[in-house]
Structure 1
């Protein structure tokens, strides 16, 4: 004769399902930094900030002046992959236009 499954805890065929949630760790954030040099035109820096960091003309000009006066400035804070892509885009644009502009990233 077969055992009956009456649904009571501990009966054959009855178990407790537990779901463990793995807490998703927020990705580390990285600052994209623009470094000043004496050769890259200010207009080019403003264009880069508008094109790759979606800044309006006023914000791009403020960041450009900060970089010019302080030697370095933050363009934005992003996940590693996005920050790396933005650095590469800026460096490629600078190279294509024969400017020595440097862009780096560092952990925020």
Structure 2
């Protein structure tokens, strides 16, 4: 069973267009004043779109290709998280904070706590800005909840 074509309808359509090429809208059975002729459409290519401009040296009319230098992404700035000494926060609480918020072993926490006690300050870790800021906030909030004046701060490395 084949498709039946209404030749009279096709002939009438040709009369209506006065010999103009058929448009996409005509093919769909509709007419539109903004219809684009089918032959005016650019060919469709599959694959990745090509960059604008010459792709080979022979395509460059001046003989000089403009090459855009690639910029490497910069490493984020790093920040030191510092723990400050005070005369009131118990040493055991400081060790607990170091283990809980910085994920270090008990031995490492005791060593850092003793450094804070002796020198007044110690670097607990070096992190990106967001991580350092979060850790400082967590330590300060936790110390305040437990009514300890423990101070934690950050500075650019």
Normalised to the residue count of structure 1, the TM-score between the two structures is 0.83
Offset of residue 20 of structure 1 = 4.7
Runs of 4+ in 1 over 4 A off after TM superposition: none
How far apart are residue 9 of structure 1 and its match? Answer: 2.8
User: What root-mean-square deviation, in Å, do the aligned CA atoms of Structure 1 and Structure 2 show?
Assistant: 1.9
Q: Which has the higher contact order (CA 8 A, sep 6+)?
A: 1
Aligned to 1:46: 95
1:5-84 correspondence runs (5 A): 9-10=58-59, 20-84=69-133
Question: Displacement, 1:21?
Answer: 2.8
How many positions carry a matched residue from both structures? Answer: 98
Structure 2: segments with no counterpart, 5+ residues: 1-55
Q: Can you give the 5+ residue segments of structure 1 that lack an aligned partner in the other structure? A: 1-6
- Name the structure with the higher strand share: 1
Residue 51 of structure 1: how far off its partner (Å): 0.6
| Structure 2 SS opposite 1:34 | strand
Structure 1 residues 8 and 22: CA distance shift in structure 2, 3 A: closer
Distance 1:19 1:44, change over 3 A: same
1: distance between equivalents of 2:92 and 2:117? 12
